[in-house]
């Protein structure tokens, strides 16, 4: 029953996420003409072009500093582990309707600590650049009569991107802790089941927000390219 319910919730969540992204994609009207050319054929393939555009950005470091290269490398490793964890975690349950076992579980357990380490490092390296500066809250600034710390206006979608970043970090805590704590004989059968449910649903939420984060990052980079 629990597997069936989670399967239904997961499918509904991914369908709702895809629908929300497509709606936002249509409403935001990205400047594809400035990036991919106004004479491009089959404009309906623009979402595919956006995905390819973002993938190419993953392998191009704009700032060749040591920290920049390290950050990009860890980010790539985190995305790779996220894909592995998503496939091994959701495919057995959502597609086949069964628990994770065998090679699925071995691969999942191998990628999990690497992903956790990458998230911890990225939290340190990207925390400052993802601060919600005062210039993100113009209404609150007017009410409190305070000046923004930055005079540079936020880019389009930048606030949503930073919110997704912090949401992913917060959700990573129950995902990681529920898996680690369940390895110790601290809880009985009911407690282990509760930890499993926490791990399942927090992982689902993390996956949804992580995909939205990547989508917004692609839009921001595309708008920057179009503005050049």
Residue 75: Cβ within 10 Å count: 17
Please tell me the predicted confidence (pLDDT) of residue 10.
Answer: 87
Q: 22, 47, 21, 52: which is closest to 213 by C-alpha?
A: 21
Q: Which residues contact 88 (CB under 8 A, 6 or more apart)?
A: 100, 104, 105, 107, 108, 111
Q: Write down all domains in the chain, each with its CATH number in brackets.
A: 2-36+47-227 (1.20.950)
> Residue length, the chain?
228
Please tell me the predicted confidence (pLDDT) of residue 146.
Answer: 61
The two three-digit tokens of residue 13, written as one number: 């969540």
**What's the average model confidence in pLDDT over 7-20?**
89
Higher-confidence residue of 37 and 156: namely 156
Report residue 115's pLDDT band, with 50, 70 and 90 as the boundaries. Answer: very high
Report residue 70's pLDDT band, with 50, 70 and 90 as the boundaries. Answer: confident
| Alpha-carbon distances of 35 from 51, 59, 74, 175, 219, rounded to whole Å | 13, 18, 27, 38, 11
Predicted TM-score of the model (pTM): 0.79
Please tell me the predicted confidence (pLDDT) of residue 117.
Answer: 92
Q: What is the mean pLDDT of the chain?
A: 79
């Amino acid at each position: 029953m629990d597997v069936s319910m989670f399967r239904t919730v997961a499918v509904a969540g991914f369908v709702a996420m895809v629908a929300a992204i497509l709606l936002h994609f249509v409403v935001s009207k990205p400047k594809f003409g400035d990036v991919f050319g106004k004479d491009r054929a089959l404009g309906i393939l623009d979402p595919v072009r956006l995905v390819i555009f973002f993938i190419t950005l993953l392998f191009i470091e704009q700032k060749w500093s040591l920290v920049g290269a390290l950050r990009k490398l860890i980010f790539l490793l985190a995305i790779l582990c996220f894909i592995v964890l998503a496939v091994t975690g959701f495919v057995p349950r959502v597609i086949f309707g069964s628990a994770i076992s065998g090679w699925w579980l071995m691969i999942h357990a191998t990628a999990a600590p690497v992903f956790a380490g990458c998230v911890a490092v990225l939290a340190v390296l990207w925390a400052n650049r993802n601060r919600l500066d005062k210039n993100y809250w113009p209404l609150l600034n007017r009410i409190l009569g305070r000046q923004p710390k930055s005079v540079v206006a936020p880019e389009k979608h930048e606030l949503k991107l930073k919110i997704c970043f912090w949401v992913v970090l917060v959700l990573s805590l129950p995902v990681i802790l529920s898996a680690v704590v369940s390895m110790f004989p601290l809880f009985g059968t009911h407690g282990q089941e509760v930890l499993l449910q926490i791990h399942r649903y927090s992982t689902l939420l993390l996956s949804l927000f992580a995909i939205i984060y990547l989508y917004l990052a692609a839009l921001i980079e595309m708008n920057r390219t179009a503005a050049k």
